[in-house]
Structure 1
Amino acid sequence: MRRRWIRAGALTVAVAAVALLLWPARPALRVSDEGRALGHLPLAEGEALTVAYTHSIDGLPIEEDLVVEDGHLVVDATRLRQFGAGMGQIPGEGHGRADGRWWVVEDLDRDIGPELVLRVGSSEVDHRLRVPGTEVELSPCLAGQRVTVEPVRVSTLRLWLDGGPRPDC
């Protein structure tokens, strides 16, 4: 009788462990290319997704930080080296400040919706996605392609198996 209880307890623990691995509870970002899933980036509450690229006209780097709020991507901050075409602080939006060689506009709170769609630039534009601990280079393999980033919840197992987005070259 005691062995039966031990086996039942072990089975219960095993089932619970598998359920936890499969339960879609981890916040992440799904990255897709033209509708084809490339993988997921883990993104914990309060962490930012950084979209980094080089401005196509002035050739200087730009970084935009997005956070997830209620299932939407929200632009929180932009960092740039100088004001260029379409770049800089818009009066009444955010707060600008100098940070070394960067000009930073913070507290933008610009809701862009449930997904971000990027038309990936050439190798000179060098589009990259960055979350803490991971950077995905998009331009070498996906120049000219439409890449979609959307917040989702995935299982721990899915994050382990994906190993992060890997664009095919």
Structure 2
Amino acid sequence: MIERVGGGLSALLVLIAATAGPAPAGDLVALSEDGTELLRQPVPEGTGWCVLWHHSVKGFEVSDCYENRSGRMVLVRSHLPDFAAGLDHIPGRGRQVSDGQGGYWILDIDEPVPGNGYILRPGRGNVDHRIAVGDRVVSLSEAAPREKVRIELTEEGG
């Protein structure tokens, strides 16, 4: 009887795995105001990317990092090297921890982005808004300075 239940459970798990299908894959896409594709990069379930820029006054690099979670764009963490103008941790939105160098990380934000995307207006010059996906880095500031750029997670190939 115990073997039969165990065998039945194993068969059920195999059936569930076979019918569940692959985890949602997506494409990270950045589109300029006129619809020009500035970036299209596959981002499988559980992988992520960061939007990087230099603070306009202090010059240090700031990052907001996202992840594909079941086909949803989710803000997972931010790195802020200083408490400069416009940068702060909002209590109740993730947890703030020291980066050991005078700045801080905000971890466990886990905030889905409404509509799976947002508009960014890349700054010019040394602000240099960029998207980093793995080893690939694309400068939105070079490609579309001061234009509206939509950054979105779409269905793979969509």
TM range (shorter): 0.7 to 0.9
Alignment match, 2:128: 126
Alignment match, 1:108: 109
Number of residue pairs aligned between Structure 1 and Structure 2: 132
**Cα deviation, residue 103, structure 1:** 0.9
Q: Which runs of 5+ in 2 are unaligned?
A: 1-23
Query: Counterpart of 2:87 in structure 1: which amino acid?
Result: M
Alignment match, 2:30: 31
Alpha carbons 1:47, 1:132 under 8 Å: kept:
no
Q: Per chain length, whose mean CA-contact separation is higher, i.e. which structure has more relative contact order (CA < 8 Å, sep 6+)?
A: 1
Structure 1 runs (4+) deviating above 4 angstroms are none
**Cα deviation, residue 133, structure 1:** 2.3
Give the Cα separation in 2 of the matches to 1:60 and 1:39: 24
**Cα deviation, residue 99, structure 1:** 2.1
Alpha carbons 2:45, 2:70 under 8 Å: kept:
no
* Superposition TM-score, scaled by structure 2 size: 0.74
Write the deviation string for residues 68-120 of structure 1: whole angstroms up to 9, x where unpaired: 33544221111011012221211111111112324101011223212121101
Alignment match, 1:94: 94
Identity of aligned residues (%): 29
Q: Which runs of 5+ in 1 are unaligned?
A: 1-24, 159-169
Give the Cα separation in 2 of the matches to 1:82 and 1:92: 19
Q: CA RMSD in A?
A: 2.0
**Cα deviation, residue 67, structure 1:** 1.7
